[in-house]
Structure 1
Amino acid sequence: MSEQFDDRKARASAWFRTLRDEIVAAFEGLEDSQTEGPFADQPAGRFEVTETKRSAEDGSDAGGGLMSVMRGGRVFEKVGVNVSTVYGQLGERAQKAMAARGVPGMADDPRFWASGISLVAHMQNPHCPAVHMNTRMFWTPHAWWFGGGSDLNPCIEYAEDTAHFHAVQKEHCDRHDEGFYPRFKAWADEYFYVPHRGRARGVGGIFLDDHNTGDWETDFSFIQDVGRAFLPAYVPLIEKRRNTPWSDADKDTQLVHRGLYAEYNLVYDRGTKFGLETGHDANAVLMSLPPLAKWV
């Protein structure tokens, strides 16, 4: 099964890198076109790109990726777009977590390979929603699957923005199965819920994991469309809201909402836990955290 999947791994990894390049170009384009507002006179934001590396316990190479972060831009206060391809053997805690999810054979053969893209954007203007997106492929000698999705996290909600974001997700899901959108929307509503606050961290989107219909090509095509949905779902919202005037009270609302976002990512997020437990670059794993946040 390992040799059979070498080509598929390479294709998936290359796709995540292509998607990363498209998003980075689009976001830098938003920075270039921002000519109004309090940050218009400063240089347009650009991504700082850093190679990340993961080392196995014996010090051998275990993959890595690119961490691309923009800070203090005209539109984006902080945004990260990371890609990685990592491999090796899962540690004991990660093995147990995978076994608990029903992944077969982990006790006998803990080898794994994983590749994906992860994005989180925190905005200058409180009327522009924060957003999260990721897609990934995971492989073991006994199983493979895709996962990911995207969700919108406004601190000041606009019903029409939420409707647009969800409509684009539905359109891309419906190309594959009309049952996907309602299923994965409900999953996102459950997954991105913050139990200790008794509320969702945003207005949802779609989320899926362990996605394996038995047809790799079909599933890869679908996860590509999950990625393709991101820019048309999100960029129009930023173009619409980025010049909306805001008050000190609006900024305070944004900082408090970011505290909720940070709580979720540190306490519940599955990707954060996996990244830290498998020894990936901590700065890349915690890229999702906002530059400033507030608790009341």
Structure 2
Amino acid sequence: MSDDFDVQKARAAAWFRQLRDRIVAAFEDLESRQSAEKSGKFEVTPTTRADGGGGGIMSVMRGGVVFEKVGVNWSEVHGTLGERAQKAMAARGVPGMDKDPRFWASGISLVAHMQNPHCPAVHMNTRMFWTPNAWWFGGGADLNPALEYDEDTAHFHAEMKRACDAHDENYYAKFKAWADEYFFVPHRGRARGVGGIFYDDLNTGDWEADFAFTQAVGSAFLPAFLPVTERRFGTQWTDEDREKQLVHRGLYAEYNLVYDRGTKFGLETGHDANAVLMSLPPIAKWT
């Protein structure tokens, strides 16, 4: 069984890396098609854990004509969970954390903040987590517009639903509801965006099926997001539009710093803080 998991972990990590490469290439292509004079490129930086337990790649583009700031990170890390993280895992039903707190994780995490306030910000993440006594997949994607368009929301959700329906007709309703709950900001009494899907702790007992579903979610991201961006990129915007965008970014920053599981896990387990906090917007406002 250990050999099987070694193969599965390698396959998952390789696929997340390939997805990262595809998205980076697509975003750079979008930038180059919008401006011949200013072709945006990602700055790529290797990342490491404080204890030397693996690392990853942080890819960030700043100041593009489409993307004000976008990060696409890939990681493969391993080590021993600290006491606080062990308790959190045990509370989620992971067995044996008090006896063997080793872990391995790999995934891709993406957050894009756009130049045009009519283009929505977006988040996407897919991952696999392993301990000696359990494994699971998690991830999803959600749209975060400052200025909402019903047709953009409908398109994004349709692509997420298509990915879900190909694997289980119950997944979309379940994972959409989970996203609505997870991406809610309690202290503001509102959602941080127009939702999408979110799932965690996915282990049906069929690793191949769960991996295939996670691949489908990752592959659905570009078809869900690029058409929306291309539709809104040329929309004229005002100072009032920009103000709404910056205030909405403040909401996004609050959520990621206070509630987001990935942010907490990354900081608590010693991953590169710059990579963990890549999701924060370059400029934000609070009223």
Q: Aligned equivalents of 1:16 and 1:55: distance in 2?
A: 22
Contact persistence 2:50–2:272 (CA under 8 A)? no
**Pairwise mapping of residues 263-274 of structure 1 onto structure 2 (< 5 A)?**
263-274=254-265
CA separation in 1, counterparts of 2:50 and 2:193? Answer: 35
Alignment correspondent of 2:213: 222
- Correspondence for 1:109 among 100, 105, 119: 100
TM-score by length of 2: 0.99
The equivalent residue for 1:171 is: 162
Q: Which of residues 231, 235, 243 is equivalent to 1:244?
A: 235
2:201 to 210, 218, 236: 210
Counterparts of residues 1-296 of structure 1 (less than 5 Å): 1-35=1-35, 41=37, 43-56=38-51, 61-296=52-287
Paired with 1:2 and 1:46, the residues of 2 have a C-alpha distance of 40
Structure-2 separation of matches of 1:218 and 1:264:
31
| SS across alignment from 1:286 | helix
Q: Distance in 2 between matches of 1:6 and 1:214?
A: 17
Whole-angstrom CA distance in 2 between matches of 1:3 and 1:207: 30
Counterpart residue type for residue 23 of structure 1: I
* SS in structure 1 of the partner of residue 187 of structure 2: coil
Residue 55 of structure 1 deviates from its aligned partner by 3.1
Unmatched 5+ stretches in structure 2: none
Aligned partners of 2:74 and 2:278: how far apart in 1? 12
Q: CA RMSD in A?
A: 0.8
Q: What amino acid sits opposite 1:52 in the alignment?
A: T
Q: 2:188 aligns to what SS in structure 1?
A: coil
By how many angstroms is 1:176 displaced? 0.3
State the Cα distance separating 1:45 from its structure 2 match: 1.0
CA offset digits 1:19-56 (Å, max 9, x no partner)? 00000000001100114xxxx75x22100000001132
Alpha-carbon distance in 1 for matches of 2:8, 2:106? 11
- The Cα offsets for residues 173-217 of structure 1, whole Å up to 9 and x where unpaired, read as 000001000000000000000000000000000000000000000
Matched to 1:9, the amino acid is K
| Gapped regions of structure 1 (runs ≥ 5) | none
- TM-score, normalization: structure 1? 0.96
Provide the C-alpha distance between the structure 1 equivalents of 2:108 and 2:198, rounded to a whole number of angstroms.
14
How far off its partner does 1:2 sit?
3.1
CA distance in 2, matches of 1:281, 1:240: 35
Q: Contact between 1:115 and 1:137, CA under 8 Å: does it hold in 2?
A: yes
Contact 1:54 1:86 in 2 (8 A): yes
Identity %: 77
